[in-house]
């Protein structure tokens, strides 16, 4: 039987996604360290890019559940010396129970999944960051209840996080307002998939109106460091400040996947202010991924 993978939020049904979110909240509230459903199981974690939250949350989650995690970097394995992905996927999956990858190219994760005999989890690619969305949605459900029918504003880069927000809007039935500089829109295939649930705005202020959640991300993602100067110019009207927050619903939340750059995509006043839930959002990576691991492996 083919293993179940988590490459995108669309790999789950809407019901399964809601089930994982609710289970994450339950696991967080119970904090039962005696519950060890993954005793003896091993997660291999392949990181082509840096990480704080993703690495620690997966590793800690596996330990909480009685298992363990292996950190593998291309620099220290044959992956970095050109061993074919399909060979690596077959070999690694013959020795572990699950594989998480953070890669430069989305195709690396999909190829790995094609040849892996165990579940493959997308820990971020240039196109998607579905694990972050599990945590973001868990956080919204905790603070405000179900997100169905609400309006979320994505302001900033039409990047991997934005694409995953489009998927979340499709799966959980919320409206997504998007305000990106014209040259930084999400790829056409994601726009088409989002259909009527997504709406584009010329300014951050217009996108924020009626929103229950304002979300942004860095202007320069990992791998785009050479574009920093040009991006700072392109995104200068897309900073989340108190004017943007005041245009949203009065009880609107602010989220950011972190790491953040205060003074660039968000002011200190907002990210460190009362509407910001960025630290519970970060902690929820742990709980949401434990619920995901349980769903995929138990
Ligand atoms: N948000 C997120 O994925 O953080 P890391 O890059 O630290 O894993
Ligand atoms: N868009 C960012 C997210 C980091 C968690 C990046 O890809 O670098």
Q: What is the pLDDT of residues 7-50, one digit of tens each?
A: 999 999 999 999 999 999 999 999 999 999 999 999 999 999 99
Share of the chain above pLDDT 70, in %: 100
Question: Is 55 an annotated catalytic residue?
Answer: no
β-sheet bridge partners, residue 198: 176
Measure the CA–CA gap between 213 and 211, rounded to whole angstroms: 5
- Ligand 2 pocket residue status of 161, Cβ below 6 Å: yes
Q: Which two tokens stand for residue 296?
A: 């995929």
Take atom 4 of ligand 1 and give the residue whose Cα is closest: 53
CATH code: domain 9-129+285-297 is 3.40.50.1370
pLDDT digits (tens, 9 = 90+) for 124-140: 999 999 999 999 999 99
Nearest to 58 by CA among 26, 104, 98, 110: 98
Task: Note the pLDDT of residue 109.
Answer: 98
Over residues 148-163, mean pLDDT: 98
Q: For residues 28 and 189, what is the distance between their CA atoms, to the nearest angstrom?
A: 35
Q: Exposed, middle or buried by CB within 10 Å (0-12, 13-18, 19+), for 197? A: middle
Please state the rounded mean pLDDT for residues 220-244: 98
Residue 221: pLDDT over 80: yes
Q: Distance, CA 221 to ligand 2 centroid (Å)? A: 5
Q: Where are the domains of the chain?
A: 9-129+285-297, 132-281
pLDDT of residue 89: 98
> Is pLDDT of 1 > 80?
no
Please say if 298 is a catalytic residue: no
149 pLDDT higher than 80: yes
* CA neighbor of 92 nearest in space, from 108, 72, 106: 72
Tens of pLDDT, residues 85-110: 999 999 999 999 999 999 999 999 99
262 catalytic? Reply is no
Residue 180 designated active-site: no
Task: Answer whether 129's CB lies under 8 Å from 164's CB.
Answer: yes
Q: Using CA positions, which residue lies closest to atom 7 of ligand 1?
A: 52
Averaged pLDDT score across all residues of the chain:
98
pLDDT digits 0-9 by tens, 276-298: 999 999 999 999 999 999 999 99
Per-residue pLDDT, 236: 97
Does ligand 1 have an atom closer than 6 angstroms to the CB of 218?
Answer: no
Give the whole-angstrom CA distance, residue 168 versus residue 85.
Answer: 29
Q: What CATH number does domain 132-281 carry, 3.40.50.1370, 1.20.1530.20, 3.40.50.300, 3.30.2270.10?
A: 3.40.50.1370
Rounded average pLDDT over 270-277: 98
Ligand minimally distant from the alpha carbon of residue 100: 1
């Amino acid at each position: 039987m083919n293993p179940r993978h988590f490459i995108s939020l669309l790999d789950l049904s809407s019901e399964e996604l809601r089930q994982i979110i609710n289970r994450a909240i339950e696991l967080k509230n119970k904090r039962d360290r005696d519950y060890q459903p993954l005793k003896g199981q091993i997660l291999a974690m392949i990181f082509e890019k840096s990480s704080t939250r993703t690495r620690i949350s997966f590793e800690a989650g596996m330990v909480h559940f009685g298992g363990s995690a292996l950190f593998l970097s291309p620099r220290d394995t044959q992956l970095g010396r050109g061993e074919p992905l399909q060979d690596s996927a077959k070999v690694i999956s013959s020795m572990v129970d699950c594989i998480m990858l953070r890669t430069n190219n989305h195709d690396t994760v999909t190829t790995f999944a094609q040849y892996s005999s165990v579940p493959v989890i997308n820990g971020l690619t240039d196109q998607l960051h579905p694990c972050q969305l599990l945590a973001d949605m868990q956080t919204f459900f905790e603070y405000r209840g179900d997100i169905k029918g609400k309006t979320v504003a994505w302001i900033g880069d039409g990047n991997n996080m934005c694409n995953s927000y489009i998927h979340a809007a499709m799966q959980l039935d919320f409206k997504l307002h998007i305000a990106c500089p014209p040259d930084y829109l999400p790829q056409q295939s994601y726009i088409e998939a989002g259909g009527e649930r997504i709406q584009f705005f010329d300014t951050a202020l217009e996108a924020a109106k009626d929103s229950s959640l304002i979300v942004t991300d860095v202007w320069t993602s990992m791998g785009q460091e050479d574009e920093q100067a040009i991006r700072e110019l392109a995104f200068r009207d897309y900073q989340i400040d108190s004017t943007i927050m005041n245009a949203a619903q009065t009880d609107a939340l602010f989220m950011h996947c972190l790491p953040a750059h205060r003074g660039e995509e968000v002011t200190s006043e907002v990210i460190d202010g009362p509407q910001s839930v960025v630290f519970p959002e970060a902690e929820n990576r742990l709980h949401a991924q434990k619920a995901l691991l349980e769903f995929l492996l138990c």
